[in-house]
Amino acid sequence: MGFTKVLVANRGEIAWRVMRTARAMGYRTVAVYSDADKDAPHVAFADEAVRIGPPPVGESYLSIDRILEAAHTSGADAIHPGYGFLSENEAFATACEKAGLVFIGPPPAAIAAMGNKAAAKRRMIDAGVPCVPGYQGADQSDGNLENEARKIGLPVMVKAAAGGGGRGMRLVERDADLLDAIRTARAEAESAFGSGELILEKAVIDSRHVEIQVFADSHGNVIHLGERDCSVQRRHQKVIEEAPSPAVNADLRQRMGAAAVAAARTIGYRGAGTVEFLLGNDGAFYFLEMNTRLQVEHPVTEAITGLDLVEWQLRVARGEMLPLTQEQVRFAGHAIEVRLYAEDAYAGFLPQTGRIDVWRPASGPGVRIDHGMKDGLAISPFYDPMIAKVIAHGATREEALRRLVKALRDTVVLGPTTNRHFLIRLLDHPEFAAGKATTSFIGKHSFPSPEVSERHWTLAASLLWRQSAERYPPDLRGWRNSNPEPTQIKLAVGETVRTLLLADGGKDGAPFHIDGRDVVVDLDAHTVRFHDRTYAPPASAAAGGDGKLRAPMDGRIVAIRVAAGDTVVRGQTLVVLEAMKIQHQIKAAADSTIESVSVQEGQQVANRTVLVTLAS
């Protein structure tokens, strides 16, 4: 089971993170990349890099044949899958073994046992692991799923049996929404995972999402490395993770850890894995699923244990015993991680695309930032829009929290809209600071979009004034043949337009970037993009009210629900756009008639592309 060269079948921050440990242990590393990632830092860091295809994942990162060909071409004798993509794919693990490659992950049979939520849940019930009541049967007809949901009792969770990461998942609280949730979840699951099979579970309201990190070797040893609290979520995807959980004491940790170890033993597990539970406010916990891979949030476990989990993965893969017994595992301090995303948290967490103009990650005591970013790199519509993971460790939870907020404030990221300001608001919220946040935390609190401050407007105008002044020779700057007059600068943020009068350029120490006629200004962690309309022609009376529905981001048209001549009502779904593996429903803003449809199903469209025109 020895190996000398590790190919990382992934991209971005996790590829770079795995390579750092592999290189430190003396292994040579191989990166794979699509055309969209040819300039990415993980590609430059690796000892070798192999192109595996165009940007779409089916033709690159999800192509087993192309990954294996890259391993053969480079001479790699081991493959680390990272997380996502092929990391939990039984066929990929089997193909690696057949090709004589060491798969740095669990046996194919273990992946298969937990790869389908329905089968996994049935197996855990048989093993005595507590599970959420629900339906995981073979009859997948819409009608049967509706009936089973009503038997369980609303609210229920509709989940993709083959899925993860919040895709193909819907919370249903009203009977009228049930059928649409089933159909939408199935379509999203088929697109993301190639399987439309669904399960139903009783929704445990106001619960916590607590997961246990397990590790097993090929000698029969299985231990756990404590828990992580991942309760703060949006779209059923994690936003903040911390270890240990504020809701778990030593006794509960022992009981949940024992259940997780039993789950791993039941399927003959090997390597790193995570057993996820729902923890009710009554102290009862229920098995959700097992992730047969390294988790995004593994750094918080590394921080409180002092261990390198990728190093453990590599050691176990080459046949070594676990470095520690359960009794030798120690925990120190507290760690919190946030996921910095290119998304508009104040507009329904809409994913964003575009070039990162300025990237300056913070540093400091107890701060770790895992990323795969650099200036000029683009956030692509083909992949998850996570920019970085920002992690802080401290002797106490309060210290970790302070360090994390400061790290977010000190991090500079200019380009597409990000959730950085929103993350700080979450961390500063009294409920989270008190350790009381549950899975309903984001949904039950109001986080309105912040106002654009007067300082933002003034600084944006002054930056454009100075840029304009620098175009003139030094001896002519500021020269006039009469008394100085204020300069008019006309700026727009969305639909808001203002004209500012400046006598001089002013100064301010905020981060900024000027991109053509746009200026991006970051003040107090609130980043705003202004558009210079000083010399723009007057807007027509129809501007903003032309009846054209445009794509909110780059993506692929997966469904068109209307045709020219149809009458539609306010809130009716007209087009379904898929971006970053999430399906977004483009809806009518008012009752109207469809004048024309400008796109076709399967078409890839850019941000702001006209999709449908409504009659005025």
* pLDDT tens by residue, 387-403: 999 999 999 999 999 99
Asked if pLDDT for residue 470 goes beyond 60, the answer is yes
pLDDT for 235: 84
Would you kindly state where each structural domain of the chain is located, as residue ranges? 5-104, 133-202, 208-444, 454-532, 548-614
Residues contacting 159, CB < 8 A, separation 6+: 117, 168, 169, 185, 198, 199, 200, 201
Query: 454-532 adopts what CATH topology?
Result: Glycoprotein, Type 4 Pilin (3.30.700)
Pairing of strands 354-355, 512-515: unpaired
Least confident of 2-16, 522-536, 541-555: 541-555
Asked if pLDDT for residue 446 goes beyond 50, the answer is yes
* pLDDT tens by residue, 211-222: 999 999 999 999
Asked if pLDDT for residue 62 goes beyond 90, the answer is yes
**Known catalytic residue at 293:** yes
Indicate the burial class of 303 (C-beta count within 10 angstroms; 0-12, 13-18, 19 or more): buried
CA atoms within 13 A on the CB side of 494: 8
pLDDT for 475: 47
Architecture in CATH for domain 548-614: Beta Barrel (2.40)
Query: What band does 503 get if pLDDT is binned at 50, 70 and 90?
Result: low
Asked if pLDDT for residue 542 goes beyond 50, the answer is no
* pLDDT tens by residue, 243-253: 999 999 999 99
Regarding predicted confidence, which is higher, 80 or 115? 80
Residues contacting 575, CB < 8 A, separation 6+: 549, 557, 559, 560, 561, 562, 585, 586, 597, 599, 611, 612
pLDDT for 551: 86
d(CA 524, CA 511): 10
* pLDDT tens by residue, 251-274: 999 999 999 999 999 999 999 999
Query: What band does 150 get if pLDDT is binned at 50, 70 and 90?
Result: very high
DSSP 321: P
Mean pLDDT (whole number) for 75-84: 97
d(CA 64, CA 399): 44
Identity of residue 441: F
β-strand partners of 241: 337
Query: 5-104 adopts what CATH topology?
Result: Rossmann fold (3.40.50)
User: Does CATH number 3.30.470.20 belong to domain 208-444?
Assistant: yes
Are 105 and 271 contacting, i.e. CB atoms less than 8 angstroms apart?
Answer: yes
DSSP 461: H
Are 349 and 235 contacting, i.e. CB atoms less than 8 angstroms apart?
Answer: yes
pLDDT > 90 in the chain, percent: 76
d(CA 463, CA 301): 44
Task: Name the phi and psi angles at 600, rounded to 5.
Answer: -125, 155
pLDDT > 70 in the chain, percent: 94
Please list the alpha-helical segments (H only) found in 99-177: 108-115, 117-126, 142-152
Asked if pLDDT for residue 169 goes beyond 50, the answer is yes
Are 227 and 256 contacting, i.e. CB atoms less than 8 angstroms apart?
Answer: yes
Asked if pLDDT for residue 424 goes beyond 90, the answer is yes
pLDDT for 485: 63
CATH, domain 133-202, list 3.30.70.20, 3.30.1490.20, 3.40.50.300, 1.20.120.1150: 3.30.1490.20
Q: The pTM is what?
A: 0.85
pLDDT for 616: 67
Q: Which of 66, 293, 368, 529 is catalytic?
A: 293
In whole numbers, what is the pLDDT of the chain averaged over residues? Answer: 91
Tokens read off for 473: 């020779």
Mean pLDDT (whole number) for 446-463: 93
* Beta sheet of 567-568, edge-to-edge order: 548-550, 610-614, 592-597, 567-568
pLDDT for 581: 65
Least confident of 30-39, 82-91, 187-196, 330-339: 187-196
Mean pLDDT (whole number) for 86-100: 97
d(CA 10, CA 312): 19
Nearest residue to 228 via CA among 291, 163, 274, 166:
274
